[in-house]
Structure 1
């Protein structure tokens, strides 16, 4: 059986570097919600009958499927849209990576997961690493734009999707994965209709690239992420997911021909240490409960 920590890290690397093909598609005229509709819509066409075929397995937890459609669908749609439209990758990632905070708190309140000192320390260390890597400053606190709100809401929805994925333990992995694609296609289709934005006219070669990206990148990344969060506690998964930030910032620095300074390296190291702490087996450390003052 594959280690869920390793599978989840692979998924985060795929998500963290997804801005590269997304910007390439944007240069072709396909970005924002139309990009989401094209990518996720292709998978959703196949996903709907497959999910319905497994309905006898998830009928007792239909609430879980609905939650994944809503939260997972919006998380994917909002993040892909913000990454394809936004120029400030650092700011987008900072807003999205409030997700570990939502996940740890949500796992504690909703799933009654243990909130240990080790887990809290890993979360704090990860947030410090994020701040160092991104170079948080006054510019970070400027008023939020529409793209900023997309990134921020994507982080919250992603955390809630992870909680729903773990709670819906009787829903097959395939249904969990494809439910998120269906939700993304629904949200993207609704947004395109409301905003009057539709798919551009592209050549057959371009649409083939979109299909390959949808199947070979988005589907694999989503399947790996669902597998990881299904087999890990929400708080632990939330910190491991921060590897996406490292992949995004380092790939942006490398491909964007930007030098990586000592601050970025220190921040990346702290995040990696936090990920190892989060994956460490729970020991007999004191548990923090809500009864504490």
Structure 2
């Protein structure tokens, strides 16, 4: 068996993403609220990648529209996903986030003018049915979803839109797009805190600062680099399947460590959504080049 470095790195990054709820909830339990924690972690990452932003400032000025949408959608996706993980049930948040096939198909159809085959429509159908079951089935019409459910759904929508923007903005270097995404998340957090959405945490101990720095640099940054590097060094369909390991890791770890339990109906919904993600991954082609650029 030949050792495949990109596969190994992408698997490691996906596992790190699937376990990221552990340090997030741990630091949150030390007294750092969700928005403040997100502001600090992504502020650190934006600072680290600022050298690439400065290096490619001319290119970014030529593609201001793409940069704006990456900051909005990418930053919003990271903010919503992180906040939902901190404040919600890990399994429920992760499964709702993985409604990506729905948003990806709709976005690709209407914004990038992609052709949609029957398998992708089947994936959308399964994903919608899965979300319907997870949100309570027909009971969802009498009891609205929680605000964390809505944030988890929003994180998946923003992430899918960010992926479309990433693909359409071919002329902008990946390092700059990632840096703008981090900066966008930091900026959105700042606006929400200034607007009074949540009180900023000021009393942070020295030990907590160390944990925040360690999580930002040795977990979040490495997971981002591993994902980006792995995806760019293997077939698109293969990488899409490996990334699903993130969902599986989150479900297993939350069940064992946090003791989270879903109802049979919710697990059935999760199976539907996982099936939709597998369909989307298996039909992904390496020549999926957008017809529209921004």
- Aligned pair 1:255/2:257, yes or no? yes
CA separation of 1:74 and 1:135: change in aligned 2, threshold 3 A: closer
TM-score, normalisation: structure 1: 0.77
Match of 2:224 in 1: 222
Question: What is the distance in 2 between the residues matched to 1:120 and 1:148?
Answer: 24
CA separation of 1:116 and 1:235: change in aligned 2, threshold 3 A: farther
Match of 1:286 in 2: none
Confirm or deny: 8 A CA contact 1:236 1:279 kept in the other structure: yes
TM-score, normalisation: structure 2: 0.77
SS in 1 for 2:170: coil
Q: Which moved more, 1:199-208 or 1:157-166?
A: 199-208
Unpaired runs of 5+ in structure 2? Answer: 286-294
Question: What is the distance in 1 between the residues matched to 2:60 and 2:94?
Answer: 33
Deviation at residue 145 of structure 1 after TM alignment: 3.5
Question: What is the distance in 1 between the residues matched to 2:247 and 2:204?
Answer: 32
Question: What is the distance in 2 between the residues matched to 1:104 and 1:235?
Answer: 15
Deviation at residue 168 of structure 1 after TM alignment: 0.9
Confirm or deny: 8 A CA contact 1:236 1:278 kept in the other structure: no
CA separation of 1:148 and 1:276: change in aligned 2, threshold 3 A: closer
Match of 2:151 in 1: 150
- Output aligned runs, 1:81-96, within 5 Å: 81-86=83-88, 88-96=89-97
Cα RMSD (Å) of the superposition?
3.8
Q: How many residues are treated as equivalent by the alignment?
A: 280
Confirm or deny: 8 A CA contact 2:98 2:277 kept in the other structure: no
- Aligned pair 1:203/2:230, yes or no? no
CA separation of 1:271 and 1:191: change in aligned 2, threshold 3 A: closer
Unpaired runs of 5+ in structure 1? Answer: 284-293
Question: What is the distance in 2 between the residues matched to 1:203 and 1:111?
Answer: 47
Confirm or deny: 8 A CA contact 1:100 1:235 kept in the other structure: no
- Aligned pair 1:100/2:101, yes or no? yes
Question: What is the distance in 2 between the residues matched to 1:194 and 1:211?
Answer: 26
Match of 2:248 in 1: 246
CA separation of 1:279 and 1:137: change in aligned 2, threshold 3 A: closer
Confirm or deny: 8 A CA contact 1:17 1:247 kept in the other structure: yes
SS in 2 for 1:115: coil
Confirm or deny: 8 A CA contact 2:19 2:250 kept in the other structure: yes
Q: Which moved more, 1:201-210 or 1:173-182?
A: 201-210
